Amino acid sequence: MSRLAAKLAIALALVFLIYIWPPGSIFMQKIYLDGQLEDWNGRASVTSPKDETDKNNVFQSLHWGTNENEQRLYFAVKLKKPIAMGQHFVCRLYLDIDDNGSYGDSIDKFAELLYVPDNGNGLVGIKLFSSDGSLISEYEGMWGQRSDAGGSGFEFYLPMAELNVYPAQPIRFYLAAAGLRGDRLPAEGDVQWKAFPVVVRNRSGIIIFALFWLVATAALYRYRIWPLYYILGAVGFTFIFILVIRGSFIEYLVEHRTGVILHHILNYFNVVTHVFDKSPGTILVFIKLDESWTTLDIDIESSALLEIAVLLGLVLFYPAYNFGRKVYYILFGTATLVFFNLLRLMLVISIIYWGGRNFNFVAHTLFGRIFFFSVIVILYWYILTRPSIKKVRGDVKRA
């Protein structure tokens, strides 16, 4: 009973940590539309490669991102030269909603962006149109730099609902200057992006669920009802672990490190990529076949954190293993999942790089998942199924 009390005390301490656990703000600072563009430094972006002497070169960079629990796409435009007070700047952001390379389909959109800097504010006006020029919505805000603060950039948002975009749906976009300026970002092609705003659950609900799980699991352990104890313990732990790390420092740290490792591996093979400190897990890959960019967003699923959570639950609550064996299998299994997840991501990027961005869905959904699922099946066989069969055979022989 003392061992059970110790485990409950540790579990209660972990539940308390859930409540006070800080969000991953070190990596993912919230985007505020206030005309202050410093919070965009280090986020996913494309920059202008053109010569400084080109008079048509007006764009410095285009940035994009999302906020937790918000169904909005955020963008920031930085200009090479400031807009003088009393002047205005107009450009358009074109969006290929169905991700087929054509910007003239009925579902596609474009946003006309008006930037008017002044000493008192930086007005930004947004008009969202369908591809045939029909106005969908119109709104404005003080989201640009003021003239006395530089007057060389602005930020804005587009509602995902008005774009007919759902989370993780791939879209393409590019920015173009109005009139005969001719400047655009990227300079050629476009950017492919699967926007997936992180959804962080209410912690009070997690606490209630965790306490219920603790009581039920302790009761099953106390009365040695091992099948139900194992099922409830492993499944409950997995859910709680995922809910806790979602949007946390741990998730963003793992995603960021995975992206950095991939970046260095791909650069070794002369694949042009960029990673960003404040967009953890985002890798911008130049697809030479399409002469365009695509973003690979390493989230909680493609970082192997889901599979690691399942592994922890299955091993920690397996009654037949002692402490030493549990530690060994957790370390071995985690290392295996991380290694083969990197191979999975390399496989996905290779297919897209050599086959083009139209292979994005096939690379992720078919080849990547089949490969990783096969690895998981073999790993679980080695860690759980094989030792269990061996133990049963030994018991039968001794009987």
pLDDT recorded at residue 26: 56
What is the spatial distance between Cα 296 and Cα 367, in angstroms, rounded to a whole number? 15
Which of the given ranges, 153-162, 208-217, 322-331, has the highest pLDDT on average? 153-162
- At 365, list the tokens: 């959904």
pLDDT in tens, 314-364: 999 988 888 899 999 999 999 999 999 999 999 999 999 988 888 888 888
For the segment 141-160, the average pLDDT, to the nearest whole number, is 90
Of all helices (H) and strands (E), which one includes residue 94? strand 89-96
For the segment 384-398, the average pLDDT, to the nearest whole number, is 77
Give the position of tokens 């679980």.
Answer: 380
pLDDT recorded at residue 83: 85
Residue by residue, DSSP assigns 317-365 as T-TT--HHHHHHHHHHHHHHHHHHHHHHHHHHHHHHHHH-GGGHHIIII
53 has pLDDT over 60: no
Amino acid at 190: D
Reported pTM: 0.86
Instruction: Please provide the size of the chain in residues.
Output: 399
Residue 314 near residue 61 (C-beta atoms within 8 A): no
| DSSP collapsed to 3 states, 120-178 | CCEEEEEEEEECCCCEEEEEEECCECCHHHCCCEEEEEEEHHHHCCCCCCEEEEEEEEC
What is the spatial distance between Cα 267 and Cα 248, in angstroms, rounded to a whole number? 29
What is the spatial distance between Cα 31 and Cα 155, in angstroms, rounded to a whole number? 10
Instruction: Share the mean pLDDT of the chain.
Output: 86
What is the spatial distance between Cα 243 and Cα 239, in angstroms, rounded to a whole number? 6
pLDDT recorded at residue 7: 60
pLDDT recorded at residue 161: 94
